[in-house]
């Protein structure tokens, strides 16, 4: 099992505790917090709050990848992300991940101080992305997605979703390493809600341990997702208890990093789930 995850200037030990990645979207249309943090000042205030609530990482996004969303031009994404990165210099100590599929956005963000690139396309959207990440010696999250954000929820289909997602991520890790990215800098994400039905998401959550064979840190992002809302029959703003259940199961099944909107609450959930997990022989000698 992986013992550490390396980013540009940080090395995270993975056996001490589950890492919390706080979400900050500076977009008008993200599914949960779209429009709330568009101004630089309000975005910086939220970033400082995320750190104070106990996050280990901050994930900054300038382009929505919600179902049905369309890509935005590079200059628009840069105009959303770069001023926030500049304003955060010296304001937060935790590493910043930038959620993008564009090499130019990644390059400029890394130059501005970002430490990790969170690529929902797993390096497939932009042929230059791998080279940018490799040269910067940045951390990288490779996520599984069937289709594109615009089409991914039309008719997602799998024969064996857990095995297919695992095989996809194995191939993307191999591609990243072949492109010069050090394997200890790579984490994987099964992509809850990205080209999956509710049943697919639940199967992935229940079978998350299968991804342990990849020997890479496992990142999960079930926070406020539609499968939680579908089970509970509730809107986005009422999905925190359901998110807590998904986070607990994900941690219990071996997640190393949890990407969430409500940092303080989900950190508590992760701590308790990990404390229980660590008493089970399967994990004691992991």
Helix, strand, coil percent content, the chain, rounded in steps of 5: 45, 15, 40
Over pLDDT 90: what percentage of the chain? Answer: 81
Domain boundaries in the chain?
A: 17-284
The pLDDT assigned to 71 comes to 83
Q: Which of 168, 173, 150, 172 is nearest to 158 (CA)?
A: 168
pLDDT in tens, 176-195: 999 999 999 999 999 999 99
The pLDDT assigned to 37 comes to 66
pLDDT in tens, 144-156: 999 788 777 888 8
pLDDT band at 276 (very low <50, low <70, confident <90, very high): very high
Give the separation between CA 266 and CA 245, rounded to whole angstroms: 10
Task: Check pLDDT > 80 for residue 77.
Answer: yes
Section 82-87 average pLDDT = 96
Task: Check pLDDT > 50 for residue 167.
Answer: yes
pLDDT band at 132 (very low <50, low <70, confident <90, very high): very high
Give the separation between CA 101 and CA 105, rounded to whole angstroms: 8
The pLDDT assigned to 285 comes to 42
We find that the CATH architecture of domain 17-284 is Alpha-Beta Barrel (3.20)
Strand partners, 20: 258
Give the separation between CA 170 and CA 225, rounded to whole angstroms: 25
Mean pLDDT of the chain: 92
The pLDDT assigned to 149 comes to 80
- For residues 52-88, one letter each, b for 16 or more C-beta atoms within 10 angstroms of the residue's C-beta and e for the rest, the string is eeebbbbbbbbbbbbbebebbebeebbebbbbbbeeb
Check: CB of residue 95 under 8 Å from CB of residue 7.
Answer: yes
Tokens 């199967």 found at? 203
The pLDDT assigned to 153 comes to 84
Select the more confidently predicted residue: 66 or 116. 116
Look up residue 65 and give its two tokens.
Answer: 């990848």
pLDDT in tens, 14-55: 988 999 999 999 987 554 454 666 689 999 999 999 999 999
The pLDDT assigned to 38 comes to 67
The pLDDT assigned to 284 comes to 44
Select the more confidently predicted residue: 33 or 217. 217
Predicted TM-score (pTM) above 0.85:
yes
pLDDT in tens, 221-250: 999 998 999 999 999 889 999 999 999 999
Known catalytic residues? 225, 259
Task: Check pLDDT > 80 for residue 63.
Answer: yes
The pLDDT assigned to 210 comes to 96
The pLDDT assigned to 114 comes to 97
The pLDDT assigned to 155 comes to 87
């Amino acid at each position: 099992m992986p013992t550490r995850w390396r980013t540009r200037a940080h090395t995270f030990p993975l056996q001490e505790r589950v890492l919390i990645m706080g979400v900050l979207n500076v977009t008008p249309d993200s599914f949960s917090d779209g429009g709330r943090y568009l101004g630089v000042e309000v975005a910086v205030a939220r970033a400082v709050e995320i750190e104070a609530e106990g996050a280990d990482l901050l994930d900054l996004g300038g382009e929505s990848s919600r179902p049905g969303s369309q890509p935005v031009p590079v200059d628009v994404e840069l105009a959303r992300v770069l001023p926030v990165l500049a304003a955060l210099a010296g304001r937060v100590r935790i590493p910043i991940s930038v959620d993008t599929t564009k090499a130019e956005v990644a390059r400029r963000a890394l130059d501005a101080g970002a430490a990790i690139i969170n690529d929902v396309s797993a390096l497939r959207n932009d042929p230059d992305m791998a080279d940018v990440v490799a040269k910067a010696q940045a951390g990288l999250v490779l996520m599984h997605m069937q289709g594109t954000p615009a089409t991914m929820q039309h008719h997602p289909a799998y024969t064996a979703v857990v095995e297919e997602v695992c095989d996809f991520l194995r191939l993307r890790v191999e591609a990243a390493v072949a492109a010069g990215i050090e394997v200890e800098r790579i984490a994987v994400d099964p992509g809850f809600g990205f080209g999956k039905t509710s049943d697919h998401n639940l199967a992935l959550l229940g079978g998350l341990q299968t991804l342990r064979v990849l020997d890479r840190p496992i990142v999960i992002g079930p926070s406020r997702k539609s499968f939680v809302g579908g089970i509970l029959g509730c809107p986005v703003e009422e999905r925190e208890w359901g998110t807590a259940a998904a986070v607990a199961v994900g941690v219990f099944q071996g997640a190393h990093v949890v990407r969430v909107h409500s940092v303080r609450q989900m950190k508590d959930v992760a701590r308790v789930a990990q404390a229980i997990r660590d008493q089970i022989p399967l994990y004691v000698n992991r």
